[in-house]
Every structure is written in C-alpha cells, then in structure tokens.
Amino acid sequence: MRILIAAQGERTHFLGMVPLAWALRAAGHEVLVAGQPALMGAVAASGLPGAVVGPDFRLGRMLDRRGSDGAELDLTACDFGGDPGETLRGYARLVTWWLRVVNEPMFASSVALYRRWRPDLVLWEPTALAAPVAAEAVGAVHARILWSLDFLGRSRDAYLRAMAAWPPAARRDPLAEWLDGHAARWGVEFRERMTRGYFTLDYLPEPLRLQDAPGVRYVPLRYIPYNGRAVVPDWLLTPPERPRVCLTLGTSATERYGGFTLPLREVLTALGDLDAEIVATLPAAERGRLGALPPNVRPVGFTPLEPLARTCSAFVDQGGSGTFLTALTAGVPQLVVPHARMYDSGPLAERFAAQGAGLHLAPGEVTGEAVRDAVDLLLRDPSYTGAGLRLREGMEAAPSPGEVARDIGSLVSDHAG
C-alpha cells in the first residue's frame, strides 16, 4: 500500500510517528511524510521521505491572539454543560485560534499532493485536520495517531452531545462548518470521521487513557522511543555509582512557549542536597545562565533520552508526551512539573500520579524545596518504581509497530470503498 503520514509543523507531534512509519516501510509499504516546511528537518533526520504542504503557520501570533476575545479555552474542562451561547463561543475559539490557524495553509497543497501521490491510507496526528479532508477528496482511508490524551476527541463528543440538547435555532457547529467549507471545494461533504478518523491509534496504556469517546475505534499501539538522531556519550555507557536523576524539560518550553516556568537554578541547587547524580539536559543558553552548581549536578546538552532513562532511578520532567512516555518505557518513577501552557501535561500527570507511579506539582507549587522533597520520596519509596513497572508492562503488552504494520491491511480493508 501507499501510506501517507501527515503532521503539521510541530516537530514533537511527528517524532512519535517515526517508529510506525519505519515498521510500515519494513513491511513493504511505500511511505511518504507530508508536513509544513518547519517539519522537514526532522523528517529528513528520520530518514523518511518528505513532501512539503503549505507554508508554515505563525504559532506566536496564534498564542497571542487565541484569547483575544475572552479567556483561553480550557480543553481539559470541556464538559459543555453551561449556557449554549458561552459554550458556542468557547468552541468557536478552539476552531478559530488553533485549528484554523494551524491548518489553513495546508488544505490546497495537501489535496494537490494527495491527488498526485494517491495514498491508500493517510495517518494523521490530531491537529492536522487538513489531512482527513484531503484523504476524503481522493477516496483514501484515514486514521489518527494520538500523541497524548485524546482531549480533542473528548471535547468533540461533549460538544455534539451538548448541542443536541439546545433549541434547533441555537445549534451551530463551528468545526463542521469550517471543514465542510473546505471539503466542498473538492466535491466531498463533511463527515464526522474527518474529526476522528476511521480508527485511532493510541500509545497510552489503558489506565492513563481518557474514557473512550463514543464512535471512536481505538487501536492500541506500543510506544517506541524516538527523539531524533543522536550519539550516546561515553559517560552514559558507564553505570552510575549512585542513583541517577534526570531533569529534562523538553524543547517546546524554550522553542514555543517563551521559556521554563519553574525556578531552574533554585531547583538544581536544592537537588544538590540529595545523595544522587543529577543530570540536567538543557539548551546551551540555559546552561550558560546557571552559574556555579552543586558538584552532584551535571548540566548537559541534548542527550539520547531512552539510553539515559534506562540508567535513571527517577525523572523530573514537564509531562510532554515524548519525554513522559520514554521514561515510562523504562519504568522510571517521575515527578511531573507541567508547563503552564501545555494543556495536556497537567491532566496526564494527575492520571499518572493516581496510579502510584509518580508525583506531580502544579506550576504554582514548584519550589526548589518541593522538587527536592518529591524526588527524595521517589528514590526512597520502592512502591513508585513498582507501579511504574506495572504501567510499563501494560505498554509492552500492546501490539508493536511491526505487528500493527503487519495487520494494517485488514484495518484498511474494513473501511475501503
């Protein structure tokens, strides 16, 4: 089959798709990645062939304007049980200031590419909504690959249920109206599967998932860590002499959201009180601002995260899906300190902590002392490691990318035509 992988220009949304893409190639399928220009460096580094669709969107402008007509929409609290007018305005903000901004540059060029390449299957990440419209325009089966909790699917279902209870004159569906306007340009009608795919591949182990949205066919997929090209440094090949703790805050905080929201130097200074090696993976600019640090703190640049995780006794991270899931594949207990602007990391941290596999601190609770005490507890109490290993076992029970690639033909044939 010809299988097209679709993502918008956000690198972190794409990286988790790479192991499946390579498994599909290894199974004999032809694979092409379609994304905005900002994504092409990561695509080329993965070794996969890529094709550009549309210009880049302006994320900074989106973040500045998303709340310009009121408070930012909290996707994690979309129960939509209140006033119909306010519910409609909130949902319209989600469509206008996020999904439209990301996707408008991609529609026409996506359809043009799909018409030339003629994919049998399109796999798209949940914010790349130009992809299912283009897939419908060429008659291809399409499916989502989640990169975190399925808040978009849940909020969509909640909005439809709320809207059904309103008086007919009050019912409006901003997402369907927007997608239908584009679909009509290429001779197709809006269908609900444009918001959720024919099926949905999900990396999260069952205890961490949101309650399944009605009408969504979820297919489990084992998460395989991939963080880009890397060379393992010599020091990482030597087992640590004492417990190793990794502090890593991802790339989105500095690249997209204006910096870290925790007092980094205060936290690292406090972690100096522990009888542990602290490995802090930080951009060069951040390392240069830290000054003198305790002798047990090792500030480093980009480091291959999976080999590092397998040498660690605990993690301190921001709850970004790539970092979080990589630590989870190693069964490492985590202290999650969510970034204030990453809507999914807080709820993911809460669900993780509820399983007994780690702890979390809300952004306003993060101090050096609080982080030190939480990490000390993770190192001393073996129950956290035990719970983390149980979650890892659940992940390992899911079908591997190779197994999904082997069975992808039957998934497609269920819906083809």
Of 38-42, 211-215, 220-224, the one with minimum mean pLDDT is 211-215
Query: What pLDDT, in 10s, does the model give residues 21-55?
Result: 999 999 999 999 999 999 999 999 999 999 999 99
Superfamily (CATH) of domain 2-222+398-413: Glycogen Phosphorylase B; (3.40.50.2000)
Is the model's pLDDT at 254 over the cut of 70?
Answer: no
Best CA proximity match to 378, nearest among 404, 353, 408, 341: 353
C-beta neighbour count of 307 within 10 angstroms: 15
Best CA proximity match to 340, nearest among 249, 247, 268: 249
**Angstrom distance (rounded) from CA 145 to CA 321:** 13
Of 36-45, 96-105, 207-216, 229-238, the one with minimum mean pLDDT is 207-216
Enter the tokens of residue 311: 């040498």
Q: Which residues touch 404 (CB under 8 Å, ≥6 apart)?
A: 20, 23, 201, 219, 221
Q: In what order do the strands lie in the sheet with 297-300?
A: 297-300, 277-281, 244-248, 314-317, 334-336, 358-360
DSSP bridge pairs for 52:
35
Tell me the mean pLDDT in the region 281-310: 92
Give me the pLDDT at residue 158, please: 86
**Angstrom distance (rounded) from CA 125 to CA 14:** 8
Give me the pLDDT at residue 346, please: 86
Q: Which amino acid is at 179?
A: L
Pick the CATH number of 234-396 from 1.10.540.10, 3.40.50.1820, 3.40.50.2000, 3.40.367.20: 3.40.50.2000
Q: Which residues touch 304 (CB under 8 Å, ≥6 apart)?
A: 227, 230, 231, 232, 236
> Residue 123: helix, strand or coil by DSSP?
strand
Domain ranges (residues) in the chain:
2-222+398-413, 234-396
> 2-222+398-413 and 234-396: same fold?
yes
* Percent of the chain whose pLDDT exceeds 70: 90
Highest mean pLDDT among 217-221, 274-278, 279-283: 274-278
Query: What pLDDT, in 10s, does the model give residues 60-108?
Result: 555 555 444 433 455 655 556 667 888 888 888 889 888 999 999 999 9
CB 383 within 8 A of CB 356: yes
